[in-house]
Amino acid sequence: MSNTTAPAPARTLTAMPVPARVIERIVLAALEEDNPRGDLTGNALIPAHTTATAAVVAREPGICAGLDTFIAAMRLSDPALELVPALADGDTFAAGDTLVTVTGPARGLLAGERVGLNLLQRLSGIATATAAYVAAAQGTGARIVDTRKTTPGLRVLERYAVRCGGGHNHRDNLSEAVMAKDNHLALLGTGSELTNALRKARASLGHTVHFEVEIDSLDQLDAVLAAGVDTIMLDNFSLADLATGVRRIAGAALVEASGNVRLETVAAIAATGVDVISSGALTHSVRALDLGLDIRMEAN
């Protein structure tokens, strides 16, 4: 990615932002971890009356996500801090742009700096990476979605960041939908035995519950199709086999591609005609964006 050219604008957010009470709970836990008994350095070096102004400045281009987490980290560190965002989540920025400014007690500003930046950098990194995947699949109709490979405790924020980048979310948790994966199928048999097991499971579910089945071979497809599930995930299929799977399913279920999904492969995967492309890389191995906090002391 160039250090001077911003990525294409993100799409309009596809779901509501994270509730303030949820953000506060997560940020409070992070502040407790980072500052359990006071900031020894700030309290030793900075007089209590010192005030400062700081700006979060981008060192590289990207898409913003997580401004509310940064604001919460600052305000929970010191309610006297005043914050003025320069843009909104989902907005693009270039290297050198200011995302948000902070003014007020210097000790509080310094105490909240690391937690606030950690969250803003990671979430903006996820949004930026997602936007690149979405752009690569543009025009194909394939939807880019995340997975449950998220940071424990941060899933709600990381999935929000995916939405900021124009992506969509898979099931949020194990209680939300039925998703039979390879280890489930290994216990259910093959052929008609598998079909019957899936039909029995379907009959036990409420009518609003989505039912998805993952397969890793075209040999499993007929048995799963016969069960009448909602989505069939083709996991680690070759491009040729993905296209074959799309033709054979022929609209009887949504087709999801997963496995080996990287930025350099996503366009070719999307071109096979799949409906959904899921990638754990959007959250489990994304690089945090380089954002810095530039601070100066206010005249007293």
Instruction: Give me the phi and psi of 293, to 5 degrees please.
Output: -105, 110
What is the CA 70 to chain-centroid distance, rounded?
17
What is the CA 24 to chain-centroid distance, rounded?
19
Q: Kindly name the residue from 148, 155, 171, 181 that is annotated as catalytic.
A: 181
200 catalytic per annotation: no
Give me 205's structure tokens: 């579910």
182 catalytic per annotation: no
Burial class (CB in 10 A: 0-12, 13-18, 19+), 270: buried
Q: Could you tell me which of 107, 38, 37, 22 has the C-alpha nearest to residue 72?
A: 22
Q: Kindly name the residue from 25, 148, 149, 199 that is annotated as catalytic.
A: 149
Beta-bridge mates of residue 93: 62
Instruction: Give me the phi and psi of 206, to 5 degrees please.
Output: -65, 160
Bridging pattern class, strands 211-215 and 231-235: parallel
247 catalytic per annotation: no
114 catalytic per annotation: yes
Q: Kindly name the residue from 25, 114, 171, 248 that is annotated as catalytic.
A: 114
Q: Give the Cα separation of 255 and 247 in Å (integer).
A: 10
| Residues with catalytic roles | 114, 149, 181, 214, 235
